[in-house]
Amino acid sequence: MDRHLAQARSDLERLVARGAAGELAQPPEVHRVDAQARAEYRPAAVLLLLTPTAARPDVFPGLDLYLVQRSPLLRHHPGQIALPGGRADAGDTGPAATALREAHEEIGLVPGRVDVIGTLPEVAVPISRFLVTPVVGWAADPGDLARVEAGEVLHTLRLPVSDLLDPAGRSTVTIHGHGSAGFAVQGGWVWGFTGNLLDGVFDELGWTRPWDRSREYAMSMAEARGDTLPPATPEG
């Protein structure tokens, strides 16, 4: 393992350990877990799947992150670019099992290829009433992840983390007076819950590069609903 990957792996392991010890900063207020969320929200998990980069191995952290672009036909978060994941099933043994099962269904990830580093503290997503556990996974070779679940996912995106950290692509995405951390990527923006989660994770890892937090991108309702995306088509 080269020095960038070794450092990144060490940073991720420390992040998980600090999360377990209650040492991480609180998420934005909208995502904080209160008594109502714990009593009423449904459990879910998302997978932060990291793998050695295919594009920029010489640039720290030398990793790619997998994201999915959700179908604009979905009820919750249509068209958004998000982490693989979803709600827990009765047969899941825990958040890691949920995240890996969902990633297998959505992008064809074989669970055995993933080394689960651990989980981060739960966060609330009020709009869909989920209590989400982020799962941190490392895959030295994730295999071919071109297959997608066409009913839920338009595209699988493999993005260099160094691109996500580029200050030129960072903005606060605003809609109807509400703002979230935003990352400009191919296909649109990572924003909302996923944007806030990645923003917090990168901050806690110490990977964030200074960016202009006063810069805003005003998102239209059509973009937010996924109306500007092509419709999902069945797998052929």
**Which of 106, 166, 97, 164 is closest to 137 using CA atoms?**
97
pLDDT band (50, 70, 90) for residue 78 = low
Domain 3-161: assigned CATH number: 3.90.79.10
pLDDT band (50, 70, 90) for residue 235 = very low
3-state secondary structure (DSSP) of residue 175: strand
User: How high is the pLDDT of residue 225?
Assistant: 74
Which tens digit of pLDDT belongs to each residue from 109-123? 999 999 999 999 999
Q: By mean pLDDT, which of 17-31, 70-84, 172-186 is the weakest?
A: 70-84
DSSP conformational letter for 169: G
User: How high is the pLDDT of residue 155?
Assistant: 83
Alpha-carbon distance values, 177 to 77, 114, 214, 215, 216 (Å): 18, 39, 14, 14, 11
161 vs 66: CA distance, rounded Å: 10
Dihedral Cα 173, 177, 180, 186, nearest 10 deg: -20
Treating both helix axes as pointing N-terminal to C-terminal, what angle do 3-20 and 192-205 enclose, rounded to 10 degrees? Answer: 110
Cβ-contact 124, 29 below 8 angstroms: no
Q: Whole-number mean pLDDT of the chain?
A: 90
Q: State the Rg of the chain over Cα.
A: 17
Q: Which strand (E) or helix (H) includes residue 33? A: none
Q: Residue for token digits 């297998």?
A: 104
Question: Is 80 exceeded by the pLDDT of residue 96?
Answer: yes
Question: Is 60 exceeded by the pLDDT of residue 232?
Answer: no
Alpha-carbon distance values, 40 to 36, 75, 90, 124, 157 (Å): 6, 19, 17, 11, 32
98 vs 113: CA distance, rounded Å: 15
Q: Domain coordinates of the chain in residue numbers?
A: 3-161
Question: Is 90 exceeded by the pLDDT of residue 64?
Answer: yes
